Amino acid sequence: MAPPTKKKGKKGGGKKKKKNVVEWLQFINDVPKYEDPDIESPTVDLIITLVDNICPLLYEKKVSIRTNKTGKDIRLIIEQMHQGAIGKIRMCREAFIESDMIKEDKSLHESGITDPGTYRILYDYEPVAYPLLDC
């Protein structure tokens, strides 16, 4: 007598299941092209001036800067003009009004300086008193 033979069957239970295919190609056209803000931002000319400036030769500076830069970058320029001896700088655009204050954490574009051109930035500050300077 011959040994019993096993029946050969299909692995996996028989029917093949179709995988749900998601077409990712439909989303490729919806992705906007990357624009580098350092290249695509317009350049503006800023005239940075002290509010009650008697002599424009001392505390006035003309700077070309891109609109993606923040108010902190302008503050650093002002501190360089005064060699770091100032603090609590307040900056405004065109007129010294509370509604036009430029905040340090916002970009120039968010502060309303969007189009290329020339803008005047007015600033005021409080002097920093160090004990060594009080001699």
Residue 59 domain-assigned (yes or no): yes
Task: Judge whether 19 lies within some domain.
Answer: no
Sign of the torsion formed by the C-alpha atoms of 103, 88, 60 and 97: positive
Token pair in block for residue 6: 């096993």
**Number of domains observed in the structure of the chain:** 1
28 in any annotated domain: no
For residue 95, what is the domain's CATH number? Answer: 3.10.20.90
Tens-place pLDDT, residues 71-127: 999 999 998 988 888 888 999 988 888 887 899 999 988 888 888 899 999 999 888
Q: Is residue 62 in a domain? A: yes
**57 inside domain:** yes
Instruction: Give the DSSP letter string of 9-68.
Output: --TTSSSPPPP----THHHHTTSPPP--HHHHSPEEEEEEEETT-S-TTTSEEEEEEETT
**69: in domain:** yes
Range of the domain at 84: 42-134
- Confirm whether 30 is domain-assigned: no
